[in-house]
Amino acid sequence: MPNDNAARVLHVSVVDAPLEPAPIPAQDIVSGAPEAFVTLLWRNEEGTLFNGVWHCTPGTFYLDHPDETVAFIEGRATVTPEGGEPVELTAGDAGFFPNGTRVLWEVHETVRKAFHNHDPNGRLLAGG
């Protein structure tokens, strides 16, 4: 079966990607007033695989991650998985969050990252 996408390359400037609001739930914000924005570049039909660009202003909050690979384009944040040690991520760094990891994000300088997610239950794009 031929792959209709085989001859296509999706392209976007990560630095200039148009973004839409992706509010962080108020109950997950620990301090500050972080504002998050996102654009999806691609997703599969089931909504279990997707990638895009995420931008977030300074603040401290919790995020529950699916399997997620990130590449920081700009900014600086300390990420601390529940029960784990803090890790500082800055522009040029890559990281991986395993499915089900709850992470405390401390965004020190506005972050822009490219990401690829594997959400086995499809809950993120379904709004849950």
Domains assigned to the chain? 20-118 (2.60.120.10)
Give residue 68's pLDDT band: very low, low, confident or very high (50, 70, 90): very high
- Asked whether the predicted pLDDT for residue 2 surpasses 60, the reply is no
Q: Please, which pLDDT band fits residue 4 given cuts at 50, 70 and 90?
A: low
Could you list the beta-strand ranges (E) of 1-128. Answer: 20-21, 29-32, 36-43, 49-56, 59-65, 67-81, 87-90, 94-97, 101-118
The residues near 119 (Cβ < 8 Å, ≥ 6 apart) are 47, 48, 49, 50, 66, 67, 99, 125
Q: What pLDDT score was predicted for residue 1? A: 41
Claim: this prediction has a pTM higher than 0.85: yes
Residue 128: pLDDT above 60?
Answer: no
